[in-house]
Amino acid sequence: MRGYTDTPVIPGQTWKVHDAARPRPVKVAPGRPLASLPAPGDAEILFDGGSLEKWQMKSRAGEFAPANWKVENGYVEIVSPKGMRWNLVTKEKYGDCQLHLEWMIPAEVNGKGQAGGNSGVELMSRYEVQVLESYENVTYADGQAASIYGQYPPLVNVSPRKGEWNSYDIFFEAPRFEGEKLVKPAVVTVVHNGVLVQHHKEILGPAAHRRTGVYKAHEEEPLSLQDHGHPVRYRNIWVRRVKGE
Ligand code: MG
């Protein structure tokens, strides 16, 4: 899917959600080799290529099960039996944080548009930094790799070829609520393969398809890796909690 013409305008923007006419960000060659940042001393290691003990599966209906994605060769790969779509979520819950992870679309993934190796990093299980093959694969700008899904395209497209690793460094401020009322939206900065692609963006609400999600008050929630039915790989995942005010 290369975009829509019948979706609502994104609040505060002139573009529609998944707007077919929204310009695609210019391509920038990522520096190579990829800097696979070692975890700082105060980071919590979420996945170092070994066990998934910090993780569990969560279904869309909210059921939990032991982590069962495939671990091999230092990475974890999405396993999506019968399109069940159980996300891999952390057992711990997080709010403000610095998150590092690396991801790769295997060379044999050949889907088009949103079927091109779709996954995503879901902060607080709901604010999605998109993961997708975006070197050759074309989709709507607010749904390509490193977009805030349905809200903001990345400033530039730093996607390498399929089969090459990417890194995300994500700096996330959780939304603040007083009772049910939103008093400060979530804010995110994303560095993709060493390049700033989302600069202190105010997230408009939870990720949604063909619309803009609406905030509902919530506490800290797990970090979640999205199962969209494609065998995307992740490695070197670590997080640092950031003390809020
Ligand atoms: Mg996704």
Give per-residue pLDDT as tens, 17-57: 999 999 999 999 999 888 788 999 999 999 999 999 999 99
pLDDT score, position 210: 97
pTM over 0.95: yes
Q: How far is the CA of 38 from the centre of ligand 1 (A)?
A: 26
From CA 151, how far away is CA 172, in angstroms rounded?
16
pLDDT score, position 82: 66
Are 119 and 78 in contact by the 8 Å Cβ rule? The answer is yes
Q: How far is the CA of 148 from the centre of ligand 1 (A)?
A: 10
From CA 168, how far away is CA 178, in angstroms rounded?
31
ω into 38 cis (within 30 of 0): no
Q: How far is the CA of 183 from the centre of ligand 1 (A)?
A: 27
Its CATH architecture, for the domain 44-241, is Sandwich (2.60)
Q: What separation in angstroms does the CA of 206 have from each of 22, 24, 215? A: 21, 22, 6
From CA 19, how far away is CA 96, in angstroms rounded?
30
Q: What backbone torsions phi and psi does residue 206 show, to the nearest 5 degrees?
A: -60, 150
**In this predicted model, what pLDDT tens digit does every residue of 198-221 receive, in sequence order?**
999 999 999 999 999 999 999 999
**In this predicted model, what pLDDT tens digit does every residue of 56-85 receive, in sequence order?**
999 989 999 999 999 999 999 999 876 678
Q: How far is the CA of 121 from the centre of ligand 1 (A)?
A: 8
Q: How far is the CA of 33 from the centre of ligand 1 (A)?
A: 26
Q: How far is the CA of 41 from the centre of ligand 1 (A)?
A: 31
